[in-house]
Chain A
Amino acid sequence: DIQMTQSPSSLSASVGDRVTITCRASQSISSYLNWYQHKPGRAPKLLIYAASRLQSGVPSRFSGDGSGTDFTLTINNLQPEDSATYSCQQSHSTPVTFGPGTRLEIK
């Protein structure tokens, strides 16, 4: 199975800041990398698919980049509602696997 890691495991930032979360795959997954946002008691939400494609309805302050083994999720102009856990997922090989998540706190 492909192992996914994320860094940092948690971070705190202020409204208006820009933050970057990193995801790394244990082997090359081309651009088969997706990002999800999840909040307690809520359905997880697809943000980015195929490494850099913004899911319909997701604000343009979210962006993704990378290919191969290293990927980033960047959130510009942080908003209070961005407080959540962000997880990456590889869709290159079965079984699909997820990163451990990055918890983002808005100060």
Chain B
Amino acid sequence: DQQVKQNSPSLSVQEGRISILNCDYTNSMFDYFLWYKKYPAEGPTFLISISSIKDKNEDGRFTVFLNKSAKHLSLHIVPSQPGDSAVYFCAASDGGGADGLTFGKGTHLIIQP
């Protein structure tokens, strides 16, 4: 049973426009959410995170929104740039222990010129 779901395997966006990546979760114990970016043949790199006590967190071109009632979060990238083309993983943690992160399957973002 998948606790973190990214229902779009891929997303194509024009350069300069907004990219919106979505993530849903089922475990109500999750209280911390992260987005990781991964290029081919490299390890994931941390992008941005949000605690369940917030509904928005911004870092430059990246904003994460959290809707706890809907168990939904989204990552907005504005404006999208060619270097943003990568696989984006949504991850969640219940934070209560050291059980690591639960990852979604990832969304492959393709930025078209």
- Do A and B pair up? The answer is no
